[in-house]
Amino acid sequence: MTELLSVKGLTRHFGGIAAVVNLQFRVKEREIFGIIGPNGAGKTTAFSMIAGSLLPTAGSIRFRGREIAGWPSQRVVHLGICRTHQVPRPFTGMTVYENVEVGMRFGGRRTPPRGEVADEIERILEFTGLSGWGASSAGSLPTGNRKRLELARALATDPVVLLCDEICGGLNPTETADILSLLRRLRDSGITILYIEHDMRAVMRTCDRIMVLNYGQKLAEGTPEEIQDDEGVIEAYLGRRSWMGRAEQLEEPP
């Protein structure tokens, strides 16, 4: 597998706070790359910089060898990197269908021929489990469907790399399992996924490789098994029983 995205020395300060510090990692094509860490570890901030929503204070982001750090989001999207938002941000005054249509028409990579836009949108709605909701106002969606809409809208831009920010946060186990199987299918269809998650079980089951962030810095990186056994990770979270507690339930059958 070839390297798709490589991040080096990525740093971001907010006033006096260093949210992300000298971050370095590489993502290969067609993998699900998990990013975990406690609240405030800098995961969302790292995503925002990759997606172009936030200017890095320093560092380099290369996509297929091309330097994209500091590019505005629309340009990054047109290259094929698209993000979802941790707190969903649907266009509330528009229908679900129209939300997805924005992504499809302005993703800038492949707008289907005139007659096929509606079919394509319908296909994406169905894939994300939103078929039947097309005509509803996006503002009226319940949380679970808002998360699905985030995914649908991002998929409509035809991404090469999809950045999913806690896309299962606040969902029940069935919904979570649903979304996770979607992510795996997307990976199998050739999309590379960066996946921020709080729920350790979900991450361990789904990701090919995992990076652990803490206080803006990389603590560990490896396969789920390696991460589970990593002394540094366990040590760092010794005081966080509940967090590891969830990790220990891994062996439980779903």
Ligand X SMILES: Nc1ncnc2c1ncn2[C@@H]1O[C@H](COP(=O)(O)OP(=O)(O)O)[C@@H](O)[C@H]1O
Residues that bind ligand X (CB under 6 A): 14, 17, 19, 37, 39-45
Residue 95 near residue 89 (C-beta atoms within 8 A): no
Question: What angle (nearest 5°) sits at the alpha carbon of residue 219, between those of residues 205 and 175?
Answer: 25
Strand 192-196 and strand 209-214: the pairing is unpaired
Q: Is residue 221 near other proteins by the rule CB under 8 A?
A: no
Query: Which is nearer to ligand X, 19 or 186 (by Cβ)?
Result: 19
CA separation for the pair 251, 254 (Å, rounded): 9
Which of helix, strand or coil describes residue 237?
A: coil
Q: Is residue 214 near Mg ion by the rule CB under 5 A?
A: no
Q: Is residue 154 near other proteins by the rule CB under 8 A?
A: yes
Distances (CA, A) of 63 to 20, 36, 86, 193: 19, 22, 23, 14
Q: Is residue 91 near other proteins by the rule CB under 8 A?
A: yes
Contact string 155-194 vs other proteins (x = CB under 8 A)? -xx-------------------------------------
- Segment interacting with other proteins (CB under 8 A) among 63-71, 82-90, 182-190, 195-203: 82-90
**Widest Cα–Cα separation across the chain:** 58
Q: Shortest approach of other proteins to residue 78 CB, angstroms?
A: 6
Query: Which is nearer to ligand X, 138 or 154 (by Cβ)?
Result: 154
